Amino acid sequence: MSRILVTGGAGFIGSHTVDALINAGHDVIVIDNLSSGKKTHIHQSAHFYQMDIRDPALASIFKKHSPEFVYHFAAQINVRHSVSDSFNDANINILGSLNVLENARLSGVKKIIFSSTGGVMYGEARAIPTQETHPSYPTSPYAIAKRTMENYLQFYHNNYHLPFVAFRYANVYGPRQDNKGEAGVIAIFIEAITRGKIPTIYGDGSQTRDFIFIQDVVKANLSALESSKTSEAIAVESSRSKRSKGVFLQAPLIGIYNVSTAQETSIRELFHIIQRVLSFPHEAKYGDLPSGEVRRSALDFQKLYSENQWSPDFSLEQGIVKTCEWWKQIA
Ligand SMILES: NC(=O)c1ccc[n+]([C@@H]2O[C@H](COP(=O)([O-])OP(=O)(O)OC[C@H]3O[C@@H](n4cnc5c(N)ncnc54)[C@H](O)[C@@H]3O)[C@@H](O)[C@H]2O)c1
């Protein structure tokens, strides 16, 4: 059992990860300012502090609980907002993240796990599914901030030996997702249909995305704490490593990893799956495609598979069935 601090633990990905960590027996501390997260999503056994990640008082929480691991999910997640108010985006997503990172360093955290983006990191990629080694082309201040934090994590690792994992999530979907944000298209379509409205597809709907179900993301998040490598492989690597053996043995996954399905699904196909699952009799409406939208996106997950045997369990249809069940429950 470990003490684990989770920022953004009242949000979509954060709250599901907190549930899984607590179910696995960990002691969890949640920091969230509830700007988009909901108190009702926070597991009752978590210690909760309503606080902004930019608050200097964050240091007192680290001091009080001495977390061994930190998951950093709290963020301004709206890409369009990051364009219209880049200062606010950088203030939260860079300076706020740096406050979390610096506190993690000062309190001797064993590892920090950061939620980066894969969906808007590679621009119009040269190869699909896209590997982590593909050059990054962050096309919005939101993506620039995520890339900047990956660079800071690498700097902290090199200079202060603070191990990190940056997960570049594809388009995550599932229960509790708000119908706003970076990848809310599934939530937007389901919510519209369950309220009897006709969803709008922007452009001709042939643009593709890589949709990953929340439980697969949670499985990846938890894998950052453990290793499924053989003890022999770990012994060889740790003898090469300059880091302390204890830290390395506990958590060898380090660096940047895509978390994805490697499957491209067009928005039109996506609508048809949701239409079928909800037995919706109408076709979608079509609207103008906003400028700057990436045409195709799907991410390769072989790196996480080869290092930690992670692969997604849920097909898009299975995940959509589960998500629709949740929307019906709360409707
Ligand atoms: N949902 C996706 O498809 C996706 C894809 C790639 C990356 N991400 C990243 O994953 C993380 C979680 O995303 P999500 O979809 O769960 O979003 P979310 O909005 O549901 O969760 C973010 C949480 O952070 C909190 N928060 C925001 N600003 C804060 C601040 N200044 N101080 C403290 N708390 C603050 C919010 O109240 C919310 O609970 C984010 O970092 C996001 O950028 C998400």
Per-residue pLDDT reduced to its tens digit, 183-208: 589 999 999 999 999 999 999 999 99
- Residue 266 resides in a domain: no
Q: Among 123-127, 181-185, 193-197, 239-243, which stretch is predicted with the lowest mean pLDDT?
A: 239-243
The number of folded domains in the chain is 1
- Residue 194 resides in a domain: no
CA distances from 181 to 82, 128, 268 (A): 11, 24, 20
Q: Among 84-93, 241-250, 313-322, which stretch is predicted with the lowest mean pLDDT?
A: 241-250
Residue 230 sits in a domain whose CATH number is: 3.40.50.720
Residue 147: count of CB within 10 angstroms of its CB: 19
- Residue 272 resides in a domain: no
- Residue 265 resides in a domain: no
How far apart are the CA of 6 and the centre of ligand 1, in A? 11
- Residue 72 resides in a domain: yes
**Catalytic residue annotation:** 142
- Residue 180 resides in a domain: no
- Residue 14 resides in a domain: yes
| pLDDT for the residue 183 | 54
Best residue among 36, 85, 93 to mutate for probing ligand 1, ranked by most atoms within 8 Å of CB: 36
Q: Give residue 59's domain range.
A: 3-170+213-260+300-313
- Residue 56 resides in a domain: yes
Residue 37 — left, alpha, or beta (φ > 0 → left; ψ -120 to 50 → alpha)?
beta
- Which residues contact ligand 1 via a Cβ below 6 A? 8, 10-14, 32-37, 52-54, 73-77, 92, 96, 115, 117, 119, 169, 171-172, 178, 181-183
